[in-house]
Amino acid sequence: MTDVLTMLERASPNFDERRCRKPVDLVLLHYTGMQTAEAALSRLTDTEAKVSAHYVIDEDGTIIRLVPEEARAWHAGVAFWRGVRDVNARSIGIELVNPGHEFGYRPFPEAQIAALLPLLQQIKARHNIPAAGFIGHSDVAPQRKEDPGELFPWARLAQAGFGLWPSPEFRPSPHAPELHPGMKSGAVVDLQVALDRIGFGIEGSGVYDPLTEAVVRAFQRHWRPARIDGMADPETTSLIHHIAQRA
């Protein structure tokens, strides 16, 4: 039997019906990006703000439920993932209290991640969400968002079954090209096709345009956080094709 998680309730008025025939198949992770937890909760429950999430997890591990899972919370904004444009209708939104890049981005505390993991397990069980369905806000809105960011422990989540991650055998290909903004080539088309297969909203134009740069940067933020520059160096290129094969 699944353990019952202890959580607080702080109802947000900012939700509506899902109005989608397809089931929930995504969990979208965010950071709050505000100076305090209370500031974030106030905004997420403010009718004029018109934003919300299903859950907020404070840095001490406290879970606050704002919107019932059966309702459509307003957390994704203009977004796209695997052909889905109304990401809110297909997802559960979880906000992790963290000041974000604007106010002093910092690692996510152990207590916070320790609370997140069992919550994800219960959501996964309730909605039968596949491992590939656990993603970040920057993945679905790469030109607008950076959260939950490069300090988020994606590898740890993937080890627990929440998200894709490179296999232990992964090595960069010695034949992988180095691609950069402004290039036009068949290798750029291949890169874009692989990114589209992962889920990013991008077409195979063959031009390494600003959208491609933003998507590569988002990919790096999730899967290669050691350097986030939007440049498809051989390691990044190899990783993109590797993750695409696992998607």
pLDDT digits (tens, 9 = 90+) for 134-176: 999 999 999 999 999 999 999 999 999 999 999 999 999 999 9
Confidence of residue 3 (pLDDT cuts 50, 70, 90): low
Residue-range domains of the chain with CATH: 8-159 (3.40.80.10), 186-246 (1.10.101.10)
Confidence of residue 180 (pLDDT cuts 50, 70, 90): very high
Confidence of residue 126 (pLDDT cuts 50, 70, 90): very high
Query: For residue range 70-109, what is the model confidence (pLDDT) as tens digits?
Result: 999 999 999 999 999 999 999 999 999 999 999 999 999 9
Q: How many Cβ atoms sit within 10 Å of the Cβ of residue 228?
A: 18
Confidence of residue 1 (pLDDT cuts 50, 70, 90): very low
- What DSSP state is assigned to residue 49? T
Q: Which helix (H) or strand (E) holds 134?
A: strand 134-136
The single residue listed with the structure tokens 């993603």 is 135
Which is the catalytic residue, given 17, 38, 48, 95?
Answer: 95
Pairing of strands 91-96, 55-57: parallel
Q: Six-digit token pair at 6?
A: 């202890």
Pairing of strands 15-16, 72-73: antiparallel
- Can you name the residues that pair with 51 across neighbouring β-strands? none
Confidence of residue 121 (pLDDT cuts 50, 70, 90): very high
Query: For residue range 235-247, what is the model confidence (pLDDT) as tens digits?
Result: 999 999 999 999 9
> Averaged over 192-219, what is the pLDDT?
97
User: Taking all residues of the chain, what is their mean pLDDT, rounded to a whole number?
Assistant: 96
Active site (annotated) includes residue 59: no
